[in-house]
Homo-oligomer: A and B are copies of this chain.
């Protein structure tokens, strides 16, 4: 099949899945009309199986509904659903220092303290998307405030909950820099500023200069402060292909906007390397965690296949194809797309399974949970559709 036709067919499938399966599932089952906010824990057919409201998940849903409202598919109800979460979270979500708790109970009372600064990141993203959708100043203010809280805590992120002692080697972690790269991009775009340009640039350079190791041809999760790798420890050898691929499309998106060909070329190279390293040669799909030297991984669930890893890998392959026009990335897209779509979607109740075992069989039937909500999948479907239909692709 001609590439153009092939991508158009896939784009139609992504668009249909977004609008006819994924969005309706969350619209129907996740809105807590009684107490505010969203239900995060949803069974296969949308029943609530826990009431905890995790800040990451809640704010990601505010972001996603606002982003859909601001998209080519605009529906007024999506703005209402985004505001619905925003009101609940800004009313109940902050501690006395203005930092977002990690989670609330159904009524909005704090369950878990504000020990995790990514709560503030997702708040900033959610509020920024609402500003883009509405132009209302209060959303911009909330985005900037949350961002300032995040930035003020970034050097000591865990605060009083920090358990590390001097005998533990100090590391830089990829998560912070990839978060900064995307958060800066989203804020600049949604708020219509260039305020975070230098932050994005610094984060992008750090990812490629410090975390990418050209000798070992690997992107590491944790590196020494000078960018060297500690191959003697589990956390030094830790590789997270999904994280790396997500980081790479953040960089490719930024490179596209700034026209930075050098950055794009380097990110494409890393995408290829991560896909080759992360792909399971026996059962297909991408591993969740890996060890750089193939030694046993410290985490039990390392060999599982996660929905978000495959969502981010699909976007990375499409961004890399767009940037390079290298047909290898189209081949990777097809391989990922085929493997993913054959296993994750639930034809009976809609939406996708979250967790498969190494063999590719679902281990859980949940559609929402502590770490899955209305975010990675709809973002992949929305951005994927756009990429495949984009003029750059054909």
Chain B residue numbers with a CB within 8 Å of A304 are: 300-301
A112 near B52: Cβ-Cβ < 8 Å: no
**A391 CB, nearest partner CB in chain B, Å:** 40
| Interface 0/1 of A86-113, CB less than 8 Å to B | 0000000000000001101101111111
Q: How far is the CA of A50 from the CA of B163 in the complex (A)?
A: 19
Tally of this chain's copies: 2
Is A327 an interface residue when CB atoms closer than 8 A count as contact? no
Q: Which residues of B contact A104 (CB under 8 A)?
A: 167
Flag if B234 contacts A164 (CB, 8 Å).
no
Binding-face segment, A61-69, A177-185, A212-220, A357-365? A357-365
Task: Contact check, A49 vs B355: say whether CB atoms are below 8 A apart.
Answer: no
A25 to nearest B CB, angstroms? 15
Contact of A296 among B161, B165, B296, B365 (CB under 8 A): B365
Chain B contacts of A300 at CB under 8 A? 300-301, 304, 355, 363-364
| Complex: A214 Cα to B16 Cα, angstroms | 49
- Residues of B near A296 (CB, < 8 A) are 43, 49, 364-366, 369
Tell whether A33 is near chain B: CB-to-CB under 8 Å: no
Report if A249 contacts B (CB, 8 A): no
Q: Who on chain B is nearest to A109 by CB? A: B167
Per DSSP, are chain A's interface residues mostly helix, strand or loop, or mixed? loop
Q: How far is the CA of A359 from the CA of B303 in the complex (A)?
A: 14
Return A286 CB to nearest CB of chain B, in Å.
15
**Chain B positions within 8 Å of A168 at CB level:** 105, 110-112
A370 at the interface (CB under 8 A from B): yes
- A113 near B165 with CB under 8 A, answer yes
Q: What distance in Å separates the Cβ of A161 from its nearest Cβ neighbour in chain B?
A: 6
101-152 of chain A: CB within 8 A of chain B: 101-102, 104-105, 107-113, 115
Q: Give the complex CA separation of A233 and B110 in angstroms.
A: 16
Residues of B within 8 A of A110 (CB): 165-168
The distance in angstroms between the C-alpha atoms of A304 and B290, with both chains bound, is: 18
Q: Does A160 contact B (CB under 8 A)?
A: yes
| A to B CB contacts below 8 Å, 8 in the list | A50-B232, A105-B167, A110-B166, A111-B164, A111-B167, A113-B163, A302-B364, A357-B358
Pairwise interchain contact B303-A51, C-beta atoms closer than 8 A: no
Docked complex Cα distance between A317 and B369 (Å)? 35
Which residues of B have CB within 8 Å of A302? 363-364
A154 is an interface residue with CB less than 8 A from chain B: no
A164 to B297, CA, bound (A): 29
With an 8 A cutoff between CB atoms, is A329 at the interface?
Answer: no
